[in-house]
Structure 1
């Protein structure tokens, strides 16, 4: 579809893929990576006027996590970022899993997701 995007990042230890697909006026985001990609989290982000009344845009998010999974930070960031940038209802689902991942590798994944969010 026109407007669809795929972002791939080679990490020092794995690969991360983020796909965005336009669905009418909305966006679907699929995050996957590591040696065992999965659905660990789903975030629905809905744009709305800020409660400050200053005319700015804010986002209300609803989150579903699979028990024991830690993918919310990644999915929430992408859902809310796309929602704000596109002023559109956005859902992000997916997960990144790498056995024995270190704190430094987790930071690398987060930085890659933030970089992708900046490119949307």
Structure 2
């Protein structure tokens, strides 16, 4: 797999997540809503878990654009992939819908969780 694109239809919009493999590492772009943008960038680096059970976890560094709240989505993707694939992972992007409701925010989060659960490298 060099590049992969996953689209999730939401009740009110579409979420698009693009994966690019760069060597052994990943660059993930998240976009959606009626005004996709760059609201956040997260760099996650794999490391041995603090549980000392041999598993892999990750540590993240975050850059947020002032006033944007995309960190949760980008951080979840970056940390999840860094740990699971044992690869440096960067996630950049943003999802924006005017007057978004709490229920719609939860729908976006669930879609991101689903992408992480279903994703397999081809």
State if a TM-score over 0.5 links the two structures.
yes
Tell me by how many angstroms 1:51 deviates.
2.9
Alignment size in residue pairs? 119
CA–CA separation in structure 2 for the residues paired with 1:72 and 1:78:
10
Aligned to 2:42: 43
Confirm or deny: 8 A CA contact 2:28 2:91 kept in the other structure: yes
Aligned to 1:18: 17
**What does residue range 25-64 of structure 1 map to in structure 2 within 5 Å?**
25-64=24-63
Aligned to 2:72: 73
Tell me by how many angstroms 1:110 deviates.
0.4
Segment of structure 1 superposing worse, 22-31 or 77-86:
77-86
Structure 1: runs of 5 or more not aligned? none
Q: RMSD in angstroms over aligned alpha carbons?
A: 1.0
Spell out, residue by residue over 1:54-96, the C-alpha distance to the aligned partner (whole angstroms, 9 max, x if none). 3221101000000010000000000011112211000000000
Tell me by how many angstroms 1:53 deviates.
2.8
CA–CA separation in structure 2 for the residues paired with 1:73 and 1:54:
26
Confirm or deny: 8 A CA contact 2:56 2:84 kept in the other structure: no
SS of corresponding position for 1:17? strand
Aligned to 1:110: 109
